[in-house]
Amino acid sequence: MKKIINDPKHVVDESVAGFGLAHADLVRVETDPIHVVRADAPVAGKVGLVSGGGSGHEPLHAGFVGPGMLDAAVPGAVFTSPTPDPILAATKAVDGGKGVLHIVKNYTGDVLNFETAADLAAADGIEVRAVVTNDDVAVKDSLYTAGRRGVGGTVLVEKIAGAAAERGDTLDQVAEIAERVNDNVRSMGMALTPCIVPHAGEPSFTLAEDEVEIGIGIHGEPGRERIKLEPADAIVDRLISPIIEDLPYSSGDRVLLFVNGMGGTPQIELYIAYRRAAEVLAEQGIRIERSLVGNYITSLEMQGFSITILKLDDEMVELWDAPVHTAALRWGR
């Protein structure tokens, strides 16, 4: 195993410390318990947004802390949910008097620990709502979930809900737009290679040189099928067809197309995938109004990509375009 680390036990602590030093204008890092908070938090009169989950998916979630997006992120150990204590600390840190929204990916540990933290926050007088993202169409249940997994759509929920909170929406209104995004977004991913969790020291699964996994999860969970390597266009077709059929999306829909790298995939390959996805959508009369391409929700060094499609309405477009200033997303300010 070759990794640029020191002690595997300290990977998350040292990485988060470095993140805080690199982006001190945007965030402050609290270490006991560990969480990352927007530098000016709490913002009085604004709904606070907190998300989090296992580390190894960077820039999710700390990379999305800042004006126009999240107010705090809670990193767990690699591929492991954070415990309730740091989630509670983050919730308290961003409470500006208008309540706090938890954005939670649908993994059993995340859901349970965020629920516990929300109950503890409520006992302290903080109103908390939660939105659970579950946009992965690949499988209904997996090693980590009951129901569908939360994957790339989480980034879009965080951006659009973050903009709603920034403009002064109430907790109910921010939760409603977050739910609306989740209801209208679908994703599916694939892997060319596994990744190696630092403390494990070995690949999370095995693939032959000529094999790929279709429908992989962001923790290396199995997908729908294992196939022989195909050209990029054929792989995109395998991912995008189930996505389109699931909502379903139809001619005349306006969408945001998000092609996401899993950590080890170069941009040149992501744009090849985007090109084919755009062709398929055009053939079906589905209009791309916004796009995002890059590594935004990753699986360490896994090679592969995911496709996410969000059916847009006017309000979502307005909120997507609204200013954001985080380590990983920034425009309009």
Residue pair 130/115 in contact by the 8 Å Cβ criterion:
yes
Cβ pair 259, 277 in contact under 8 A: yes
- Closest to 67 in 3D by CA, of 89, 94, 87: 94
Measure the CA–CA gap between 41 and 304, rounded to whole angstroms.
36
What does the alpha-carbon distance between residue 169 and residue 197 come to, in Å, rounded to a whole number? Answer: 39
Tokens of 242: 């189930």
Is residue 259 within 8 A of residue 296, CB to CB? The reply is no
Q: Any idea of the CA torsion for 90, 329, 251, 105, to the nearest 10 degrees?
A: -30
Instruction: Report the C-alpha gap between 133 and 102 in whole angstroms.
Output: 11
Strand partners of residue 254: 287
Can you spell out the DSSP letters for 87-123?
A: HHHHHHHH--SS-EEEEEES-HHHHHHHHHHHHHHHH
157: tokens are: 């929920």
| Cα 111 from Cα 42, distance rounded (Å) | 24
The closest alpha carbon to 93, from 62, 126, 61, 68, belongs to 126
Is 325 among the catalytic positions?
no
Catalytic residue among 57, 102, 199, 325: 57
Question: Active-site residue 219, yes or no?
Answer: yes
Catalytically active residues, by annotation: 57, 219
